[in-house]
Structure 1
Amino acid sequence: MAEDSSARGTGFSDSSTHVDVKEYYGRKLKTTSDLQSNACMTPPQPSPAFIREALKKVHPEVVARYYGCGLLVPESLEGCSILDLGSGSGRDCYMLSQLVGQKGHVTGIDMTEAQLDVARKYLDYHMTEFGFQKPNVSFVQGYIEALTEAGLQKNSFDVIISNCVINLSPDKRRVLSEAYAVLKDGGELYFSDIYSSGRLPEQIRNHKVLWGECLGGALWWKDLLQMAEATGFSFPRLVTATPVTVGNKELLDILGDFRFVSATYRLFKLPRGQSKACRVMYNGGIPGSETVLHFDCCYTFKANEPVEVDQELASILKHSRFADDFTFQPPGGSCEPRSVPAEANAADPFELALKSGEQGLVSATGGGCCSTRPADCCK
């Protein structure tokens, strides 16, 4: 967590991209109606009742100044320490503060003063609304490329979320590296972002409006796989994917044949060493996923039904906050190693977006194209 809620990085300074983003989100955008694409807007997907109720308690001004591209609610959050990268007006922070409870804590970091002013303005309002005796939310002004410089301690967070923000950074590898540093062992980076169908040319990357609309800075989704490995994370596991549409003809002409999706991935900070494939059984009971846990687009777990999982997922479940939610079979860790390359789990987000649109299988908190075994999109 943050050593000082007002801290900001001293060794990292604004690039021209940071200045443009601050201008776009701090002054040009006043409400979500000012956006020119749906990249930075939540897709119309159903949310569990407990999340809808939590959102109802967030102040209207905070919601109006929210520009995220997905509703980020990873499972099993009670008592967790959560960091929100690019927290903006604080909508997700205040929603998540209700889920972590009084014993948990949510920290939001953002570089835009105007957004932070809105978030901090309603801190006392929300704590009173939630019935908390003391604040479990704090906001830090700083850069997502320089988390430790902003006063965030290494190995201190259980979960990091990011909602359509990493694409706005000119140094995405550094963002992942800093996130890895401040996560605890077994911690998770659960994030929604915009991805492109190929590497974008300079004409698109240098377009200020397209960058502000979360399109100009979009990664080719295959580059994310290499970037995650280079920074030490587990192989990215795709959770959901939704097509992005652009209504502005001028912008469409510039984008040409490039396509975009809003996709959610989960990455874990795991111990080194060989993992073993295993049969696991979800014990059930996680709020919002009491009988069925949609972990990613390849695995959905039904309570009390054993499922064979790949090596890395077995390691994720054993070493993360999910360890107590699963029973591992056979007891004693005698599962045999199985050679399955990480790339076998590299689901194409564009294929998933297409299948999800056809089948209506994407949920707001997980799921996708799967049953209780790896689906076609993961082959």
Structure 2
Amino acid sequence: MNAALLTSACSKGFVDGKIHVDVKDYYGKKLKSSADLQTNACMSPAKPVPAFIRQALKKVHPNVSDRYYGCGLVVPEVLEGCRILDLGSGSGRDCYMLSQLVGEKGHVTGLDMTEDQLKVARTYVDYHMKEFGYKEPNVSFVQGYIEALTDAGLEKNSFDIIISNCVVNLSPDKRRVLAEAYAVLKDGGELYFSDIYSSARLTEEVKNHKVLWGECLGGALWWEDLLQLAEEMGFSPPRLVTASVVTVDNKELQDILGDFKFISVTYRLFKVSKGNTKPCQVIYNGTITGAEKSFQFDCQHTFKAGEVVEVDGEVATILTQSRFREDFTFQPPGGSCEPCAVKPKGRHELARKPALASRQCRTRSGNEQVPMHKSRRPSAEMKADSDWL
């Protein structure tokens, strides 16, 4: 993004604040490789990486991969031909991996505010297109802010999928991030993102610590607040995919954090129409690449090919209105889940299912099975509860 466009973006109401300056300095100048990170917040994926994704990652230039600072796994399914936006794309590792999965007819846009990171990403466009055997680039990089996507020139209703890898927590205005993401997604589109969440709302001391913010801890959202923000912005209730414990392993920073605990979580949010849908019987067709035998939609739902499964109205709405529609057969034959006159659920009931899912979710951290949290008690009690993780 040139200086004129940056000025234009600011004039439309977005201001590059102190936190943005600090984050750009941290990721652009202080971090030269993943070895420079001071905590373990940026960690390995919470579930095994499929072979075809590992193969795609092997084709990414080492200079790009070495400056990767993400957390979790941000590779949703059914990507061929899709238009994808990567929020906080950094050096472009995920963009180049996704470039192979969307194919030449798809497109990946990486957005980042840090010039040094974008310089690395743009340097290797031609290298990767040649490596992938593409005649024309299907990847582009834009300088801008995740709170101001339309100001950066991204069109509304233009992306099938938005991914984000340990970046939303770096923003001081997460409400605006979700609002902008909702605006540029197509109807039926998905926000699929990994981020760091805290066991309670953080203190001002933690939030104002530059290193903790840069390490994705100081800006961590309390998981309960995400449920409310998602609904307010228009998204479907968050579907929890994976969760794993974040360890700090830095005594000085741990002393500042005190009793706060953190988790790395992958959620999926969909832009689907409101209103309730009847429960449906669905059959997974086994047509998703890498998930031919079974497809894990979220922590609660793993669909085996050819097996009849009844899903609730929330899941039925997502499956019938999103890109997954062609991968399922809906019963009765020839039909889909039709809207019905059911009294709308309140906010707490809508939020209840992701909370229940996260209680049931178990992910591996070494040899230990880890529950995300045990209850919906007030934050003060939760912060003091050593069993939260």
| TM-score over 0.5 (shorter chain) | yes
> Which residue does the alignment assign to 2:106?
104
2-structure distance, mates of 1:105, 1:334: 31
> Which residue does the alignment assign to 1:372?
none
Task: Tell me if the contact between 1:76 and 1:321 (Cα under 8 Å) persists in the aligned partners.
Answer: yes
List alignment gaps of at least 5 residues for structure 1. 363-367, 369-379
The letter of the residue matching 1:111 is M
Task: Tell me if the contact between 1:242 and 1:353 (Cα under 8 Å) persists in the aligned partners.
Answer: no
- Tell me whether 1:33 sits opposite 2:35 in the alignment: yes
> Which residue does the alignment assign to 1:236?
238
> Which residue does the alignment assign to 1:159?
161
1:352–1:201 distance in 2 versus 1, CA, 3 Å: farther
Could you tell me which of 93, 96, 100 is aligned with 1:94?
96
* Superposition deviation, residue 276 in structure 1: 1.6
Task: Report the TM-score, using the length of structure 2 for normalisation.
Answer: 0.88
2-structure distance, mates of 1:279, 1:349: 20
The letter of the residue matching 2:60 is V
Identity of aligned residues (%): 68
> Which residue does the alignment assign to 2:376?
none
Task: Tell me if the contact between 2:279 and 2:337 (Cα under 8 Å) persists in the aligned partners.
Answer: no
* Superposition deviation, residue 46 in structure 1: 2.3
**Counterpart secondary structure, 2:152:** coil
Task: Tell me if the contact between 1:7 and 1:141 (Cα under 8 Å) persists in the aligned partners.
Answer: no
1-structure distance, mates of 2:244, 2:126: 35
* Superposition deviation, residue 320 in structure 1: 0.3
Task: Tell me if the contact between 1:278 and 1:336 (Cα under 8 Å) persists in the aligned partners.
Answer: no
Counterpart mapping for 1:262-341 below 5 A = 262-331=264-333, 332-333=335-336, 341=349
* Superposition deviation, residue 353 in structure 1: 6.6
> Which residue does the alignment assign to 1:375?
none
1:335–1:358 distance in 2 versus 1, CA, 3 Å: farther
1:361–1:52 distance in 2 versus 1, CA, 3 Å: farther
Could you tell me which of 339, 350, 375 is aligned with 1:342?
350
The letter of the residue matching 1:245 is T
1:311–1:354 distance in 2 versus 1, CA, 3 Å: closer
1-structure distance, mates of 2:192, 2:232: 18
Deviations 1:59-95 (A, max 9, x none): 0000001100122110000000000000000000000
Deviations 1:345-371 (A, max 9, x none): 123687467554488889xxxxx9xxx
Query: Which structure carries more relative contact order (alpha carbon 8 Å, separation 6+)?
Result: 1
Counterpart mapping for 1:42-57 below 5 A = 42-43=44-45, 45-57=47-59
**Counterpart secondary structure, 1:307:** strand
Deviations 1:99-135 (A, max 9, x none): 0000000000000000000000000000000000100
> Which residue does the alignment assign to 2:140?
138
1:334–1:217 distance in 2 versus 1, CA, 3 Å: closer
Task: Tell me if the contact between 1:83 and 1:107 (Cα under 8 Å) persists in the aligned partners.
Answer: yes
* Superposition deviation, residue 272 in structure 1: 2.4
List alignment gaps of at least 5 residues for structure 2. 373-389
> Which residue does the alignment assign to 1:373?
none
* Superposition deviation, residue 159 in structure 1: 0.2
> Which residue does the alignment assign to 1:125?
127
**Counterpart secondary structure, 1:266:** strand
Deviations 1:146-173 (A, max 9, x none): 0000000000000000000000000000
Could you tell me which of 171, 176, 180 is aligned with 1:174?
176
6-15 vs 91-100, greater mean Cα deviation? 6-15
The letter of the residue matching 1:114 is D
Task: Tell me if the contact between 1:237 and 1:296 (Cα under 8 Å) persists in the aligned partners.
Answer: yes
1:355–1:94 distance in 2 versus 1, CA, 3 Å: closer
1:7–1:284 distance in 2 versus 1, CA, 3 Å: farther
* Superposition deviation, residue 200 in structure 1: 0.4
Task: Tell me if the contact between 1:106 and 1:136 (Cα under 8 Å) persists in the aligned partners.
Answer: yes
The letter of the residue matching 1:107 is T
> Which residue does the alignment assign to 1:206?
208
1:207–1:70 distance in 2 versus 1, CA, 3 Å: same
* Superposition deviation, residue 42 in structure 1: 2.5
1:247–1:67 distance in 2 versus 1, CA, 3 Å: same
2-structure distance, mates of 1:333, 1:326: 10
1:333–1:97 distance in 2 versus 1, CA, 3 Å: closer
